[in-house]
Amino acid sequence: MNNLPTLRSAAQLRSRVKSWRAFGETVALAAMRPGLHDGHLSLVREAQREADRVLAVLLPEGDEDAAADAARLQRDADLLDQEGADALYIPPPDECLPPDRRTRIAVPGLSEVLCGEEDPAAFDDFLCAMLRLMIIAQPDVTMVGERDWQKLALLRRAAQDLGLSARILPAPTERDQDDVALSAAALAMNDADRAVARRLHRELTRAARAIGAGADVDQTLDAAADALADAGAEVEYLDLRDPDTLAEQTAHDRARPGRVFGAIRIGDARLIDNVPVED
């Protein structure tokens, strides 16, 4: 057992945040899916650097009831307590995504590129859940992992358009010793697939360095895609894009350096990653 206060309703959440505010304390929000690994926990560590109190949230997965996996939730709560989170909110499934909701949130120019190219509505649930949480909790800071940079850009723009004042900050991507970004898919891979997976960050980094040094963008990305395909990966995309607008960049802009984004499939696993371009 742990001593982490667990909140189960929006009313409890508001009350807890209000008690912190009464002492002039700032609040950081770190929302995650159940089944935590060190990549998730890094959000808590970064949040502690940005605010006095850290509110961790375990978002419901699909139609799954939170009580259906009590052992996993208990393990996650123990991990969050060990990391020093100040409270854990486990919202009912219909709190973040009401079943009768009619509102859909899209950010043209950001929603339909990269991971949203095949399904522009892919981020609707994420944006709805996160914005509802931010409206309820009114945090000073909301953390999003750099691995999910597209979600970071989407949430920043949507929050700006809706007048939400919280700063939305990136948490550096946590990586294993072989530089693979931590994710449930990566952790479940066998050794052979893992050997392919580690090529993603390597090729993205190589491409970003070449582009920063003045190499042709299309040729550089094509070479990276070929290297990944030769290694056994199915390449979904490799793009150079503006970090805020996600507009495609055809050349390195020293005044506004881009990021190289990549997504690959290895068997049933899908991996995403991105790295900044630097001079």
201 labelled catalytic: no
Cβ-contact 26, 55 below 8 angstroms: no
What region, left, alpha or beta, does residue 262 occupy, with left being phi > 0 and alpha being psi -120 to 50 degrees? beta
Kind and range of the H or E element at 153?
helix 149-161
The catalytically annotated residue of 37, 40, 201, 252 is 40
The residues with which 31 forms a beta bridge, in sequence order, are 57
Strand ranges across the sheet with 87-89: 6-7, 87-89, 53-58, 27-32, 141-145, 167-171
CA pair distance 166, 26, nearest whole angstrom: 11
What residue ranges in 37-163 does DSSP mark as E strands?
53-58, 87-89, 141-145
| Structure tokens belonging to residue 24 | 């002039």
Residues known to be catalytic: 40
